[in-house]
Structure 1
Amino acid sequence: MAVRVGVLGATGAVGQRLIQLLDPHPDFDLACVTASDESAGKSYREAAKWRIEMAIPDDVAEMTVRRTDADDIPDDVDLLFSSLPSSVGEAVEPGLCEAGYVVSSNSSNDRTADDVPLVIPEVNGDHVDLLEVQQDERGWDGALLKNPNCSTITMVPTLAALDREFGLDAVRVSTLQAVSGAGYSGVSSMEIIDNAIPHIGGEEEKMETEARKLLGSFDGAEVQWHDADVAASCNRIPTLDGHLENVWADLSGDVSTGEAADAMREFPSPDLPSSPDPLIHVFEEPDRPQPRLDRMHGDGMAVTAGGFRETSGGVQYNCLAHNTLRGAAGASVLNGELLAEKGWV
C-alpha cells in the first residue's frame, strides 16, 4: 500500500521539484501540500508560480493548499517532505515531529544537531538509526531526518568511495554553483550575467561540517564525525542547474588516477527507487563533467566525475550533480524511501 505523503513549502522551487518527483512515485501517494498563510486556502494552481519544465500534475493543481501547521495537516499522512526556509523549518518542524509526523527535510536547520541524522542513503544509510536516540531524548512520536546541502551532496559520494578504499586525510574543494541553488529570485540577472560571485553566505561552513558528519560512523548512540580536514571555497556562476566542483583529496596512501576512478565506479548503490545505478558515473574525457551536458545522468540523481590527476597527497578531480534534484528534492525523496524501507513510515 502506498505511503501517504505531504510537501511542506510546496510552492517554492524545491517544493515544485518535490511534486515533480512525488506525483508519479511508485510507493508514495501525494495527499497534502502546504505553504504560507497567504497561499493557504487557494488551489495549488493559483498559489504556485510554476517554473518546472513539465506541466503541473492535474490532481495536484486542484489540491487546496493548507497551512504549515499540525492542526491543518491530515492525520493519515505518514511522511512529510520539508522544503521550508531554514528559519521556518526551525520554528515548525519540531512541533510536527512532536505531533507524530515523520519529516524528511531539505531545510538547513538542525543538520549538525547531535541527535538528528544527516543522511545520503548510499553513503551512510545506517545513520537513520539515530532516530531511536532522537525519539528517546526528545519524547517525540515522530522523527526528523535531514539531507545535506546541495554542494555537500555533490562531493561526498566521491569522497566516501575514496575513503572506503584508501582512507581520507584532507579535502580542498572549490565550487562553481548554479543560480538555481539560490532560488528563483536569489540572484538577480544584473548581478550574475557576465560575472562570477566568489562568495555564497554560509555555504563554505556547511560543506566543511556536513561532509565530516556524513562520512562519520554511527556507534548506536552517536555519530563520530570523520577527522578529515575539509576546506571549501564556494562560487556562484551563471549556469541554471548543476553544481560543478573541483576537489583535491589527500589520501592515506599512494593512489593512481585509475584506482581512484575505479573506486568511484564500483561504489555501490542501494535498492531504492530513486537511487541510480551506478551512483557515480566516471568520465574518461578530461573536459567532463559539464553542467549542461551531464547534470541529468541517472534522471538527475547521479553524481558524475572526471578530470582525474595525481597530486603529491592523493588525487584531484572534478565532480558534478544536479543541485535541485540530487542536491535537494531528490535527496529528500531518497531519504523518504530509506525511512519506508527501515519501517519508520
Structure 2
Amino acid sequence: MMKVGILGATGAVGQKFIRLLQGHPWFEIEALGASERSAGKKYKDAANWIEDVVLPEHIKDTIVKNCEPGEFSNVDFVFSGLDSSVAGDIEKAFAEAGIPVISNAKNYRQDPTVPLLIPEINPDHTDLIKTQSFSKDGKGWIVTNPNCVAVPLSLALKPLFDSFGIEALILTTMQAVSGAGYPGVASLDILGNVVPFISGEEPKVGPETRKLLSTLNEDSLSLPDFDVQATATRVPSINGHMISATVKLENPPADLEELKKAYQNYRNPVAELGLPFSPKALYNLHDNEYYPQPRLHADWENGMQLHLGRLRKADVFDVSFVAMAHNTIRGAAGGAILNAELLTKKGYLK
C-alpha cells in the first residue's frame, strides 16, 4: 500500500478524497494538511464534514498538519484539493522537495511540462513528467486533472475528434451547486433559479479541452486548432454537471448511425490496466430523449461514467449532444485518484 497525503483536506474536495479513498486497494491516507487555523487540531474539530456518509473513525482523531513538505515526509505522494489562491506555491514546494503532487487546482494546468490528464483520453501525456525540473533527482513532479466541465466535455468530444475532426463548438453548461464548494451559492440566489454566469469558468474550457486533445510529439504537445464558445451557468441540481454542445466537424458523418459508432467503437486505452476507479463502461449512450439527468445518473459506475444523450445531427453545425458527469467525483477527486492509479501502473508512483 502506498501512503498518501491530502492537501486542503478540510475543504469540499479534500473531504471527497477522504471518502473515496476508504478501502482503496492501493492507497491509504497517511497525512492530512490544511490551513494554519486548522493545523494542530483533530480533523473532527477542524472540518465541517459535509459528505453524506459518516466521517471514518480512523480519520476523526487524525491531527491536521500544515501544508509544508517537512510535515509529509512519510508519504509517497500527495493529492491536492487546495484552493487556487494558495495552491501554486504550496504544490511547487512539495514537488521541489521530491514529493509528487496530483492536483485538482488550476495553477499548473497550462504549464507545457505538466500533464493535464484524463487517462481514457491522453495517457501518453504522462511522459511530460520527464521534462519537469521541480526537483534535481526528478522524484518531485506535478500532474493535474482538468476543470470539472473540461472533463465531461473532452470525454464527449474525443471519439468525434478522432473520427471526424473538430472545427468549432458552442456549449452551454448547467453546473451543479456542489461545484461551488461550501458554503457555495446563497440559497436565495439559486433556489428555483438559474444563474447565467460563473466567474472564471468560461475561459478555462477552450484551453483545457485543446490541451487534453493534443498530440504528444517527443517532449512537447501539438495543440489542435478549433474555436470554443462557452457559456457557464449555475443550476439548482446538487451533483452532476451537464453540457449542451453543438459541434462543427471537419468531415461530418453520413448519418446518425456512423455518429453513434464513433462512441461504440472507441477504444479506451486504459481499459485493460485494471485501474480500480476506471468505469467498466466509459460511455453510456442514452436513447431515451429525456436522459441523461443528474439526479438519476450522476452516481452510476461510482460517479466515473460519462453520460451522453440527445445525440443528433444538428441544423446549425453538424452534431449536437447533451453530456453529463459527476462533477466532484469524475470531475475532481475521483478523476485525480484515477490519475494516480494510471501513474502507478506506469511506474511514476511506487
Name the TM tier (shorter chain). Answer: over 0.9
Task: Give the drift of 1:100.
Answer: 0.4
Q: What is the aligned partner in structure 2 of residue 223 from structure 1?
A: 221
Structure 2 counterpart of 1:340, from 310, 334, 344: 344
Gap change, CA 1:12 and 1:328, over 3 Å in 2: same
Shift of residue 227, structure 1, vs aligned partner: 1.2
User: In structure 2, what is the equivalent of residue 169 of structure 1?
Assistant: 167
Task: Provide the rounded CA distance (Å) in 2 between the counterparts of 1:139 and 1:251.
Answer: 44
Encode CA deviations 1:154-197: one digit per residue, 9 max, x unaligned: 11111011111222221211100001101122210011112111
Match of 2:18 in 1: 19
- The answer to whether the Cα contact below 8 Å between 2:3 and 2:77 also exists between their aligned partners in 1 is yes
- Deviation per CA, 1:94-126: give whole Å up to 9, x if none: 010000000000001121111111010100011
Query: Secondary structure of the equivalent of 1:319?
Result: strand
* TM-score, length basis structure 1: 0.96
TM-score (norm 2): 0.95
Question: Are the structure 2 counterparts of residues 46 and 111 from structure 1 closer, same or farther at C-alpha, using a change threshold of 3 Å?
Answer: same
User: Tell me, what secondary structure is at the counterpart of 1:275?
Assistant: coil
| Structure 2 CA distance for partners of 1:138 and 1:227, relative to 1, 3 Å | farther
Residue equivalent to 1:327: 331
Shift of 1:260: 2.2
Distance 2:138 2:36 in 1: 26
Q: CA RMSD in A?
A: 1.5
Q: Is the 8 A contact 1:84 1:106 kept in 2?
A: yes
Give the fraction of aligned pairs with identical amino acids, expressed as a percent.
39
What does 1:175-324 correspond to in 2, within 5 Å?
Answer: 175-255=173-253, 256-269=255-268, 270=270, 271=273, 272-312=275-315, 313-324=317-328
Q: Which amino acid aligns with 2:182?
A: Y
- Kept in 1, the 8 Å contact 2:100–2:140? The answer is yes
Work out whether residues 8 and 68 of structure 1, in 8 Å CA contact, stay in contact via their aligned partners in 2: yes
Matches for 1:79-94 after TM superposition, within 5 Å: 79-94=77-92
Structure 2 SS opposite 1:330: helix
Task: Give the AA of the match of 2:294.
Answer: P
